[in-house]
């Protein structure tokens, strides 16, 4: 497996584009993105667990119920959520792009991200459809990635090349996500494309399995969004034998998919609103995987832990506190904790109690941009990883006037 360039355009038969159509006031910001497959593709998606869901999610779920799609259209600047005409607008977006691309309107994945509760005017989208399609290109993954960003500070994309029984396949993805990020999906949009030949059923199985240990293990601020979605299109143009059951080929596809999703998870967590650091909590020795997940999530979600990491304060007691209230089955008298970064690793807790350590060395380790929180439990073989970020003054500033 090899990391390659191209994002969602790396796989055969995929084009992408992005423009500013006028949804966002800032004309330097792209606000409309498009991904197009030259051939109808197998499609799968997962959606937010929030009971309040954006209209585009409902339309997409209906559109790809047959397991196929050919295009993805997404706007930023307005979430199209909690609007009386939300479904109508989302369906109109599908109609507009389908007519321009000469495809079926039910072969469109539609998404929106931005402010909740404000009507989405279809006019700028309608006026920009021609320019959006004209922007399609083989080297334009970055334009699409920019078109889906809201408070993101950096672009998120990746692609990998992998082998299926001697046939080269490619898979790539773009993502947005910075705030309103919490386990069980969040205000993230992730679009993945691959030229691997795989059935809709197996594609859905792969995605549903993967997110349990990737996107569902990311938290920025504890708020589960209304509009998050992860979708995958697989057009089969690589020419490998059809993957229609579990086996070696399916396992190879799963590894490639996971490489893409883990990378995007880290990008999203590290670009949390106002964040200065990526936090990665590694839990091992849990009674089972479920308990490991519960503990990793609890540590990553703790506002006190996040604030301590912002201050580069090795306050390990906050980590034990988060473990203690997590609800996991754990013997707190066996818990070991250490902090690590590119500057090294330092143990701070052994068997649930503090140990002597150098505050100066700990500070040096915690001043880095990527921090590892290592938790060893001694209860079994369960392990898990969760990703998050520090909690900063800037987060409050961003969200204090996000709408106005």
Task: Write the DSSP symbol of residue 154.
Answer: S
CB atoms within 10 A of CB 134: 11
Tokens in use for 74?
């997404």
Start-to-end CA distance of the chain, whole Å, equals 46
Cα–Cα–Cα angle for 212, 213, 216, rounded to 5 degrees: 60
Query: What whole-number distance in Å separates Cα of residue 9 and Cα of residue 24?
Result: 25
Query: What whole-number distance in Å separates Cα of residue 191 and Cα of residue 199?
Result: 18
The secondary element (H helix, E strand) that includes residue 213 is: none
Calculate the alpha carbon distances from 386 to 275, 292, 326 in Å: 16, 10, 14
Which phi and psi (to 5°) does residue 221 adopt? -140, 5
Q: What is the DSSP string of 99-139?
A: HHHTS-GGGEEEEEEEETTS---SHHHHHHHHHHHHT-BTT
Which phi and psi (to 5°) does residue 229 adopt? -160, 140
Catalytic residue among 150, 187, 193, 226: 187
- Burial class, 11, CB count within 10 angstroms (exposed 0-12 / middle 13-18 / buried 19+): buried
Please indicate whether residue 187 is annotated as part of the active site. Answer: yes
- Burial class, 17, CB count within 10 angstroms (exposed 0-12 / middle 13-18 / buried 19+): buried
Query: What whole-number distance in Å separates Cα of residue 79 and Cα of residue 90?
Result: 11
Query: What whole-number distance in Å separates Cα of residue 154 and Cα of residue 389?
Result: 15
CB atoms within 10 A of CB 65: 10
CB atoms within 10 A of CB 381: 11
Cα–Cα–Cα angle for 34, 38, 33, rounded to 5 degrees: 5
Which residues are marked as active site? 187
């Amino acid at each position: 497996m090899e990391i390659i360039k191209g994002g969602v355009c790396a796989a055969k038969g995929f084009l992408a584009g992005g423009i500013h159509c006028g949804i966002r006031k800032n004309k330097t910001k792209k606000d409309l993105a498009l991904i197009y497959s030259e051939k109808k593709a197998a499609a799968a998606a997962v959606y937010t667990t929030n009971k309040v869901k954006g209209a585009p999610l409902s339309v997409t779920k209906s559109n790809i119920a047959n397991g196929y799609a050919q295009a993805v259209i997404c706007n930023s600047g307005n979430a199209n959520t909690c609007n009386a005409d939300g479904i109508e607008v989302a369906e109109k977006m599908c109609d507009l792009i389908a007519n321009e691309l000469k495809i079926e309107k039910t072969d469109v994945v539609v998404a929106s991200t931005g402010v909740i509760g404000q009507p989405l005017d279809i006019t700028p989208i309608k006026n920009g459809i021609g320019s959006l399609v004209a922007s399609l290109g083989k080297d334009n993954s970055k334009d699409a990635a920019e078109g889906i960003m809201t408070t993101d500070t950096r672009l998120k994309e990746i692609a990998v090349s992998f082998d299926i029984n001697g046939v080269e396949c490619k898979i790539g993805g773009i993502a947005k996500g910075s705030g309103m990020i919490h386990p069980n999906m969040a205000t993230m949009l992730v679009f993945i494309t691959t030229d691997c030949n795989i059935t809709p059923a197996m594609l859905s199985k792969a995605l549903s399995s993967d997110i349990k240990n990737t996107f569902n293990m990311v938290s920025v601020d504890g708020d589960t969004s209304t509009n998050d979605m992860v979708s995958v299109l697989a057009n089969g143009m690589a020419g490998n034998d059809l993957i229609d059951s579990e086996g070696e080929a399916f396992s190879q596809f799963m590894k490639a998919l996971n490489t893409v999703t883990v990378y995007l998870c880290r990008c999203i967590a590290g670009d949390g609103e106002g964040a200065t650091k990526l936090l990665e909590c590694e839990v091992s020795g849990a009674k089972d995987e479920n308990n490991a997940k519960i503990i990793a999530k609890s540590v990553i979600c703790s506002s006190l832990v996040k604030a301590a990491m912002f201050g580069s304060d090795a306050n390990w007691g906050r980590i034990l506190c988060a473990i203690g209230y997590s609800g996991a089955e754990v013997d707190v008298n066996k818990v070991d904790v250490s902090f690590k970064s590119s500057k090294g690793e330092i143990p701070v807790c052994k068997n649930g109690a503090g140990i002597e350590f150098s505050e100066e060395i700990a500070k040096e380790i915690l001043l880095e941009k990527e921090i590892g929180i290592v938790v060893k439990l001694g209860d079994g073989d369960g392990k898990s990883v969760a990703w998050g970020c520090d909690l900063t003054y800037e987060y409050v500033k961003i969200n204090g006037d996000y709408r106005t």
